[in-house]
Chains A and B, each alone.
Chain A
Amino acid sequence: MKILVCISNVPDTTSKINFTDGDTKFDTNGVQFVINPNDEFGLTRAMWFKEKQGATVHIATVGEATVEPTMRKALAIGADEGIRVNVAPTDGYFVAEQLAAVVKNGEYDLVIAGRESIDYNGGMVPGILATMLGMNFVNTCISLEIEGDTATAIREIDGGKETVKTALPLVIGGQKGLVEESDLKIPNMRGIMMARKKALNVVEPVDATKATQDVSFDKPAAKGQVKLVDSVDELVDLLHNEAKVI
């Protein structure tokens, strides 16, 4: 089985978010970048397939050279090879078209992407990619088993879960549940050394649609001071008469 894991390079979850250039750009100053958490669950599941069922694991990222440290980390976790599409990832549709070209060239059986990136939260790359290539697609996937050409997946739905059956080739929008938090691997020294020697191929972008553009940003209004109360009577009164939520 040949697996492609799509990796997005995102600010660490603890990052404070600021904007610059007249609020038209995300301020990367002092921000640490990591593998998108939803992608990391998928990558770790891909490693499980590699170890237990025999698979090769490839990673792809759309981004300029600055994303390479994050890709090296994914290689240190155990991916075999990396492909970087050498262009800034401007919007979800554009990224999906770039990745579709990578998938087409590589003839992958399984493509795993996070259900969304935690920066722009578009949540559209796996679905657009799958549809462009006519591949099956399961979103918000929390469990994935593959047997031969058959896949059994569980997806999270509002208020529960749904089990679906489908066939390879398949695209997954993954999240926590594909593996548990405790299954995530911190790369060891050997992995980091080996990752330096693994191929990280750079390919040039294809012509693609820029469907959307973030023209400006702003931050939520500052929160007023918390009202501390001493009794539940007072709290219920405030929720009823002041906040009017009960």
Chain B
Amino acid sequence: MSILVYTESENGKFKKNAFEVASYAKAVADQMGTSVTAISFNASEHENLGAYGVSKVLNVTHDILKTFNAEAYAKVIAQGAEKEGAKVVVVSSSANSKFLAPILAAKLKAGYVPNVVAAPDSTSPFKVKRTAFSNKGFAHTEISTDIKIIGVSNNAFGLKENQADAQVEDFSPELGDGDFSVKSVDIDKVAGKVTIADAEIVVSGGRGMKGPENWGMIEELADVLGAATACSKPVSDMGWRPHGEHVGQTGKPVAANLYVAVGISGAIQHLAGVSASKTKVVINNDPEAPFFKAADYGIVGDAFEVVPKLVEKLKEFKAQNA
């Protein structure tokens, strides 16, 4: 019996969340007195997983699995779990992991708890802490099934180095045509742009930006910080920015190290969605904006004056600290 962790990769390279879920799996393994096995698809540089406590890798290499397919990936992970006799399977909170985890849960008849923010409270009974009510609260959830699936919240557990020697073993799953009945025909993704899910810093604009034509300064600020761009709900509803950038209760959750809100008043739904971020900065010309109550740092001022100044200052800072 070991802990199985699904380590995601893109173009053969492990994603940052792969190291975070590996770190989490190692913490669970230590609590249960066992070891961590990772399962990877068409990835290389497996030794990087060893740095986070992975001692074995099931290495799946298959052309047909080059593009993510939730049904097929779930089937492969289920076969990996059976082979390893895994009682706990750990996945991330990426869109792909949240797509395949319920399929995997049904296949393994496993209880699945997503949005987990800490190592298990206990392993017998198996109890974990997760966010609920869209980050307005936490639940401590017991899983009573024989096999358990944990979805780790982005950026909540962090990376924990734990040197192990990752032994790589080729793993050939059994797949049939029926596993590919949902076919990918097009992927539209801006290459090289940091996504909200992966970002350590997120810069977000609200109605105070007055129109989509003013987003240049949000993008500049994001650029100098190496941040992802996001927006509030009204901004996406008005079509100023794409839906994929909408963060908040009905949009994407943000759990960044730094969240910068420009011209966002801070409706309760928005605050819920971004509350897991560690440091929040608010720039708003209305000193009564509710967001100031939920922020760590604030500047009361006109975004059109403050943001360009902030960009200049950050450029100076980066030049000095490069």
Contacts and interface: CB of A to CB of B under 8 A. Distances in A.
Contacts, number: 259
Nearest to A152: B185
- The binding surface of chain A is classed by DSSP as mixed
Interface residues of A, number: 82
Interface of A: 11, 13-14, 16-17, 19, 26, 37-38, 91-93, 96, 118-128, 130-132, 136-140, 142, 152, 155-167, 175-177, 180-182, 209-220, 223-224, 226-230, 232-233, 235-236, 238-240, 243, 245-246
Contacts of B306: 232
Given A127-B101, A127-B103, A158-B198, A164 B143 contact: no
A44 to B, nearest CB: 14
Interface stretch (B46-54, B164-172, B204-212, B296-304): B296-304
CB-CB nearest 4 A-B residue pairs: A127-B102, A160-B189, A211-B111, A159-B195
20 contacts: A123-B98, A127-B102, A128-B103, A131-B102, A157-B96, A158-B197, A163-B185, A164-B184, A209-B109, A214-B140, A218-B138, A219-B136, A220-B135, A220-B138, A226-B292, A228-B299, A235-B297, A240-B317, A243-B296, A246-B317
B297 A226 contact: yes
B250 A124 contact: no
Contacts of A37: 250
A92 B112 contact: yes
Given A157-B189, A228-B298, 13 more contacts: A16-B268, A118-B134, A121-B131, A121-B132, A160-B187, A162-B188, A163-B184, A176-B251, A212-B111, A223-B294, A226-B292, A228-B299, A240-B321
A240 B281 CA distance: 13
A240 B293 CA distance: 22
A128 to B, nearest CB: 5
* Range, interface on chain B: 35 or more
